[in-house]
A and B are shown apart, each in its own frame.
Chain A
Amino acid sequence: MQENEISFFSRRTLLKGGLASAVSASMFTLPNKAFALNLINQGFENGVRELVPYPQKYPLLRITTRPVHLETPFSYFDQSLITPNKAVFVRYHHANHPLNIDENAHILSIKGNVSRPLKLSMEELKKRFNQVSFNVVLQCAGNGRALSSPRVPGAQLGNGSMACFTVTGVRLADVLKAAGVGANAKQIKYRGTDEPALPVTPAFIRSLDIKKALSDDVLIVWAMNGAPLPMLNGFPIRLVVPGYFAPYWMKHLSEIEVINHEFDGWFAKEAYMVPDTVDNGIAPGTETKNKTPLRELKVRSFITNIETGNKIKLKNGELTIRGIAFDSGSGIRTVDFSADGGKNWTPANLGKSIGNYAFRPWSITLRNLKKGSIALMARATANSGETQPIIQPWNPGGYARNVIEVVNITLTS
């Protein structure tokens, strides 16, 4: 392990583990077995998770073992604006996901309502079309689900199932145009090489409206941060739908079918649905009457250098807070900050933008602080005008959390 990798995740993450005993940087040279002892308390009931090193990954929170589901410990987001590949979260739907792929043998088929069906090798894909590269946020639809009140069933995630990285690939539109999309095309229906454990279980097949599929920013990518996709993030290629939640970003992409109707498979019609209300919320505990597919990310912001429960010694009555914000692609207009539980708000300083689909850094220095407990809140507003709610609308899937998060800390002198 390289020196810079050690410093990346050893700074705070492991030391704050609820049940973990003190861990020193020397731990990282020990065999994997030692990591099994590392536990982090996620801060919700039944929320103690193991920190486990997976192949091509730093130790991540194990949400489920089979299929693999791993969350990024939240303090990693304070280390760098771009999430290293080794820190990016992992989520599969079915247990038979590939663990062994030869890029030379992988084929992407484009079929259905097209005039020239294609079977593209990875070499052809890379050579035949123009390459594009930009920064994007990937976020799980259920990011923050375990913070739902009342709690809901499903993978119990804190807020670490998100990442921001540079993708490199080709435009899906260019590939579809090469295949020649038919006149009545309505959607693409697409899948990867992962399979359910039992053949009778619905496979993870998703769909995207043709207009979106032909838009400029939807990509088929083979690289994250300039390196091949890690196996658990979709090697050798995955679909990237900037501004849309992760279930659209198919891993191990192998087949795209252009269809003239709306796909009605289980993972298109039953999964990742939210109440069709203005804020996608309904009265807690009630049933959804009308549902709609969850697509676009909602605007969010996070404080990254301080966590609830921290005790901080004041220096000259000052405290610098930093964090990140993102939305579905209009870009961040402002981040406002409150140090009194939401009564008064002050604009934070926005850092340099690395793209409208990416994390936007921000910071603020609070002055004339006195010792005692304070509630810190950050509220992002996007260029679209969208802002974060003060109360989280409840939905039965625990999807698309974007409430103004509160960080409660104690200041000491």
Chain B
Amino acid sequence: MRTLFFALLTLLCTSPALAQEIKLPAETVMYPANSNPGYVTALQKCLICHSADYALYQPNLSKEAWNKITEKMRLSFKAPITQEEASQVAAYLFETQHPKK
């Protein structure tokens, strides 16, 4: 009886260990195409680490602000891009926000 009691107690005190697995929904936002060389870099390099909505959901930013961001990506987060590529991506993102009429 005593053994049974402890067996039950052990069972009650030990919550079953869990394994969880989830599947994420697909990405739906993509960088819009334009002729700026930064577009290709955005597709090839920026998308390695983050989805396009990271950039496309930003408020209207100045050219300087975009440059600061792409330099942060290059220098702080070690994005595999040259300084020239970083500035092309900044120009592309600025143009995406401020289309030439």
A interface residues (Cβ-Cβ under 8 A, vs B): 32, 36, 44-46, 49-50, 52-56, 62-68, 94-95, 99-104, 122-123, 126-127, 146, 151-153, 156, 196-198, 200-202, 228, 231-232, 235-236, 266, 270
Contact = CB atoms under 8 A, between A and B. Distances in A.
29 contacts: A36-B28, A45-B59, A46-B58, A46-B59, A49-B57, A55-B23, A62-B53, A64-B51, A65-B27, A68-B24, A99-B23, A100-B19, A101-B19, A101-B21, A102-B17, A103-B18, A103-B19, A153-B59, A153-B69, A196-B49, A197-B50, A201-B77, A228-B18, A231-B20, A231-B22, A232-B22, A235-B18, A236-B18, A236-B20
- In the A-B complex, list the 6 residue pairs whose CB atoms are closest, starting with the nearest: A55-B22, A151-B59, A65-B51, A200-B78, A66-B51, A102-B19
A151 B78 contact: no
Contacts of B69: 153
Contacts of B51: 64-66
B91 to A, nearest CB: 16
Contacts of B80: 198, 200
Nearest to A52: B25
Given A101-B19, A198-B80, A202-B77, 12 more contacts: A46-B60, A52-B25, A63-B57, A65-B25, A94-B49, A95-B49, A99-B24, A104-B19, A152-B59, A153-B61, A196-B77, A236-B18
A204 to B, nearest CB: 11
A232 B24 CA distance: 10
A64 B29 CA distance: 9
A156 B22 contact: no
- The interface residues of chain B, by DSSP majority, are classed as loop
Contacts of A122: 17
B3 to A, nearest CB: 20
B14 interface: yes
- Which of B53, B59, B60, B65 has the most chain A CB atoms closer than 10 A to its own CB? B59
B58 A156 contact: yes
A202 B20 CA distance: 27
B76 interface: yes
Contact of B17 (A67, A123, A202): A123
Interface string B44-67: 000011110110011111000100
Given A95-B50, A153-B59, A266 B76 contact: yes
A103 B76 contact: no
A310 B80 CA distance: 48
A339 B91 CA distance: 46
A59 to B, nearest CB: 11
Nearest to B52: A65
